[in-house]
Structure 1
Amino acid sequence: MRVIVDMAKCQDHGQCAIAAPDVFRINDQGSLEYETSPAEEVRDDIEEAADVCPVQAILVEN
């Protein structure tokens, strides 16, 4: 699985970090950081994060 965030769209709302904190986090500067190749076990959380993203900036590839 591969996670891609369109950083041109991302507005750092942080909803993804709430839905999938093992994959997404807001750093000390207020910007999003994320794992590009997370474990399959967190797929449900990642898909939830993609669903709740207000600007739909998250893409999950198999």
Structure 2
Amino acid sequence: ALAWLRAQPTVASPIASARNAAQLAEILPMAALELSGPELERLDQASSPPSRRESSTPAQASRR
């Protein structure tokens, strides 16, 4: 998630929090993680808002 956020032009500084040194040690290596173009595309697609058709309720969808 942090690598994807770093790649977003509208995100100035992704924020990660750690409650202890062990969590910080797990988070720090993620700062160097670089996602490939295809990985970024898949994550962009997964995080895009649904279209009007996709956002209908099941009852609304059954009436189409």
TM-score scaled by length of structure 1: 0.27
TM-score scaled by length of structure 2: 0.27
Structure of higher CA gyration radius: 2
Question: Larger helix proportion, structure 1 or 2?
Answer: 2
Question: Larger strand proportion, structure 1 or 2?
Answer: 1
